[in-house]
Amino acid sequence: MDIQKYYSNGKFLISGEYLVLKGALAFAIPLKFGQSLQVMPLINDTGTIHWKSFVKENLWFEARFSQDNLEIIETNDQEKAAILHKLLLAANQLNSETLRNQSGFEVISNINFDIAWGLGSSSSLLSNIAHWFDVDPMVLHHKTSKGSGFDVACARAGGPILYQLSAENAKITPVTFDPEFRDQIFFVYLGKKQQSDRSIKCYHNLLKSRESEIEQISELTEEIVFAHSLSDFDYAIKEHEKIISKVLSRKTIGEIRFAGYEGSVKSLGAWGGDFVMMTWQNDRADLEKYLNEKGYFTIFSFDEIVYHHANQVVFAK
């Protein structure tokens, strides 16, 4: 067996959080950060899968699995091993040929970003495992998760996408998002990783019978993607935040942490942590000073973090 190498992107969910599960049109972007996977033959430990995960080149997790039944033999983290066992078992059920006719496997995964940032360590892992087993990542996702799957779609995307669920099927449409004002869009880490699955469960009952809000969010998603000016973009973001705030019965992140801020501030994905998107019309240095005074030091410009492959087939309005 030759050495197999795979890579999947991280993600941001720009619009449609929570209501994407109910069919709202969502806007998501793949990132320059992501996760690699390298699969090699294991010569000295037959019948096993020896897995090592690194975060920014530092060993973070290690486990050995039985190649026959994928049971955990040993690990330094039982919880992480159980999650990985579930993914491997589901992938093997979809394609059992992958693990046959090979004495053993050494698998090395490397996440090239701070795992606390919440940029998609789970979805990029799932995508890479789907690569390895040569199975549809969305099918693997639905076998192992109740999330919308937008993050798995981003893992393979060549650029920004529109994402919409219908009866658990996903419509994924590549789009152009290269606004003239992209230099005024920034992404800021708030210092608190959110668990999307837990957040979804918490608000599950609040998402019922929201047809009006779903329609409004879908319209605002298009307004965000196809905004011709920063003022139009800001307006759509602020309206989006108001609607989700009403649905969740929670204050917006702007009200909680950035009262009086001149631009717009938007939660990305699960509310309450991870990253926010902010617009700013003045020098970046002034924004960094403002944020540093509030205790926020991880700041990316649009071009520093957003991935866009030159050959992506896109739909532009």
pLDDT of residue 310: 56
pLDDT of residue 313: 47
Q: Which domains does the chain have, with CATH numbers?
A: 4-172 (3.30.230.10), 180-305 (3.30.70.890)
Share of the chain above pLDDT 90, in %: 81
pLDDT band with cut points at 50, 70 and 90 for residue 45: confident
Instruction: Tally Cβ neighbours within 10 Å of residue 41.
Output: 12
- Please list the residues that pair with 12 across neighbouring strands: 29
CA R_g for the chain: 20
Give the global pTM: 0.91
Nearest Cα neighbor of 14 from 269, 244, 197 is 269
> How does pLDDT run across 198-253, given as a tens digit for each residue?
555 555 566 665 789 999 999 999 999 999 999 999 999 999 999 999 999 999 99
Tokens of 276: 């926010």
pLDDT band with cut points at 50, 70 and 90 for residue 314: very low
The CA-to-CA distance between both ends of the chain, in Å, stands at 46
pLDDT band with cut points at 50, 70 and 90 for residue 146: confident
